[in-house]
Homo-oligomer: A and B are copies of this chain.
Amino acid sequence: MNTLSHEQAVFSIAAVERDTGLSKDTLRVWERRYGFPAPARNANGERLYPQDQLDRLRLIRRLLDGGQRPARIVAASVEELADLVDALRSESVDPQAPEHDATLLQFVCLHRATELAAGLRRALMKQGLQRFVVDTLAPLAAEVGEAWMRGELVVADEHLFTEQVQNLLRGAIGAQAGSSGRPRILLTTLPDELHVLGLLMAEAMLVPEGVSCTSLGTRTPLADIRAATLAGAFDVVALSFSSAYPTRQAVDDLLELRASLPAHVALWAGGGAVHNRHKRLDGVRVVDGLEDTLIALHEWRDAHPSHPG
């Protein structure tokens, strides 16, 4: 440890924002309303958060992401927080958990990265790209997300998992040289969506079908999606929304984009935030699950028979 480990490390409000993802405004308003956090102050009145309050804020953030409400947990004592974590842990026991995940899930930790990479690679070779994504990767990703929520994984473990999967999927996708088939599909996410795995899995499902896929990665502004669609003469725009994305915002964004795109361009949306939300989304093909991607593709091809000659 460092030489100062016997003292309490302190953090500025900017450092806490960086490490917890809670905005400065939120930190100040919690202090005002709930009395926590209660940082010390320096000579100039600036907040100095001690280490233990930072740790507690990170736990609160995790519970918040898990659906808890601030009023209940921000002012809660350490014991109450521990109880809530326990409750989460027990409730997530799934009756028919797929057993093949358990093998790979245990490799999702920092000192078993090599085994994880090898296991994923082996599964990909055995199953082929599409079955690998549907049967192995998607369930495993869900398991990882839940384990993280329960505090069984640290941030680094989740990052490492994402990196390994990216290396594998991008290699597999890149190996299938650019197809020129139809439809021409543009894949991306909106600026507030940072998760790339859903996008990559969708691409992995589509590329083997002879589709011409162009991915812009994450965080493309609406106006640029529109411009790119027209410039690239795409037939389909496909967006991915993780379950962390606010559903309301996803619906608004999709309707706005739908209105700004020509009618002949199809708009597909997939991921947790739009799951089972077909109703409010006229003109948007909601893709429910990865296998539905293939159904959407077949629908499009049935509706757009290739030009003779």
Residues of A bordering B, CB below 8 Å:
1-5, 9, 15, 18-21, 54, 58, 110-111, 113-114, 117-118, 154-156, 159-160, 162-163, 166-168, 170-171, 173-175, 177-178, 180, 188, 190-192, 194, 214-217, 219-228, 231-233, 256, 259-262
Contact = CB atoms under 8 A, between A and B. Distances in A.
Contacts of A190: 18
Chain A interface mostly = helix
Contact of A260 (B9, B114, B226): B9
Contact of A160 (B160, B162, B216): B216
A261 to B, nearest CB: 8
A217 B117 contact: no
Contact of A224 (B154, B170, B224, B256): B154
25 contacts: A1-B262, A2-B222, A2-B223, A2-B261, A4-B260, A5-B260, A15-B256, A18-B190, A18-B221, A58-B223, A111-B231, A111-B233, A113-B214, A117-B174, A117-B177, A154-B228, A155-B221, A155-B224, A156-B228, A156-B232, A163-B215, A163-B217, A170-B171, A171-B171, A171-B174
Contact of A156 (B1, B114, B220): B220
Q: How many copies does the complex hold?
A: 2
A54 B45 CA distance: 34
B217 A159 contact: yes
Determine which residue in A2, A162, A177 has the highest number of CB atoms from chain B within 10 A of its CB, and name it.
Answer: A2
Contact of A227 (B154, B171, B174, B188): B154
Contacts of A259: 2, 4-5
Contacts of A224: 154-156
Contact of A191 (B18, B114, B223): B18
Contacts of A188: 159
B19 A221 contact: yes
A232 B221 CA distance: 38
A232 to B, nearest CB: 4
Nearest to A226: B5
- 9 shortest A-B CB distances, which residue pairs? A171-B171, A156-B228, A167-B174, A159-B216, A114-B178, A155-B224, A19-B221, A5-B260, A170-B170
Contacts of A232: 110-111, 156
Contacts of A174: 117, 167-168, 170-171
